[in-house]
Amino acid sequence: MHVSAIIAAGGRGARFGGTQPKQLQPLAGVPILKRTVDVFLNGYAFDEVVVALPSDLAANPPAYLDDVIVVEGGERRQDSVANAVRAVAPSSQVIVIHDAARPLVTPAVIERTIAAAIKHGAAIAALPARDTVKRGDASRVIRGTLPRDEIFLAQTPQAFRVGVLRDALAIASTATDATDEAMLAEAAGHHVHLVDGDPRNLKITTPDDLMLAEALAPREARPARTGRAGIGYDLHRLVEGRPLILGGVTIPSDRGALGHSDADVVCHAITDAVLGAASLGDIGRHFPDVDPRWKDASSLDLLRRAIAMLADEGLQVGNVDVTVILERPKIKDHIAAMRGALADALGVDVTRVSIKGKTNEGMDAIGRGEAIAAHAIALVRSR
């Protein structure tokens, strides 16, 4: 049976606050959205996983979404889900919908929700109420006590046979904002079955919820605290008529490095080091010298882009150490400016950036003043 998954991540989490969308906030060092997507990619064998994102994120999604289908979300939840449904394969028979803000869902909850939807047409994970449930009015006066055994707290995933979900979405345009797809399915006349949810499958809505999720996150899923190291190397010929740019700083010189971009060997070596530490390939993969977009590009800007890729993976730079091998000119008077520019691009304190200058003692092309090289090592760690 063809089963598709939709992860609803089209909102920005206004109640959570912060400068970035809630789904990108780190949970135990890993973005909430990545944790949720990983469960769906590595648990149940879905035929496809579709993620609905805000328009700006959909245009430039994080690298960890390379194995999913990304669509642009809508103004309301049901609009985002409708956009995602249009992206699933025509052969899909069951569609599972899950909130990106529930990253601690387990494969067992997903599997039993799917099984119930196959049998009954629609099913949701839910928890029975454990406390006495009171109905109150706007002035906080109790107006009645509800039978506790009839009260269930809805979670996601929610799974539907395709026909049921299409019926539900067909009335979405005339319905008020629905808080979940089950509400629309009910309004369309379908019976929705309840399966056992999981108390740990909480929805992260506020910073307090995130603190609780931190305590519940599986320890084996948390990234190592010891950090990860990467090394980088770059070499360019020196020619007349080119500026010599190192670490984003223009160094007075009668010759500069020849390259497709500004040929800043310091930034190139550091970029390779941080990408390597994060297992994200190398500078040539992301900024190839055959792409006209990077012609004469600032290598300091390329480094900033690489740091943004690390942030998408829940990583940040700890420190970098660079050795520049250049016969002339001497760079010692420019090291402070280079460290400052690099610290700003890396998002670290300047004390975490080290630059050393060496010569090649007159040997080979570097020693003859025909080339320049740089070695770099970077330590990255979880955010």
pLDDT for the residue numbered 18: 66
* Residue in this structure with the two tokens 């670290």, named with its chain if needed: 348
Residue 196: in which H helix or E strand, if any? strand 193-196
104 neighbors 209 (Cβ within 8 angstroms): no
pLDDT for the residue numbered 75: 86
Kindly give the parts of the chain with pLDDT less than 70.
12-15, 17-19, 173, 175-177, 218-226
Q: Check residue 130 and report its DSSP letter.
A: -
pLDDT for the residue numbered 34: 94
Q: The sheet that has 193-196: what strands, in order across it? A: 69-72, 48-53, 3-8, 94-99, 152-161, 122-128, 193-196
**Global pTM exceeds 0.75:** no
C-alpha–C-alpha distance, residues 86 and 192, integer Å:
22
**What are the residue boundaries of the structural domains of the chain, listed by start?**
3-221, 228-382
At the second CATH level, the architecture of 228-382 is: 2-Layer Sandwich (3.30)
- Strands 255-257 and 228-240: what pairing? antiparallel
At the second CATH level, the architecture of 3-221 is: Alpha-Beta Complex (3.90)
157 neighbors 44 (Cβ within 8 angstroms): no
Q: Check residue 327 and report its DSSP letter.
A: S
Which amino acid is it at 106? T
Residues 6+ apart with CB under 8 A from 81: 6, 8, 52, 97, 169, 181
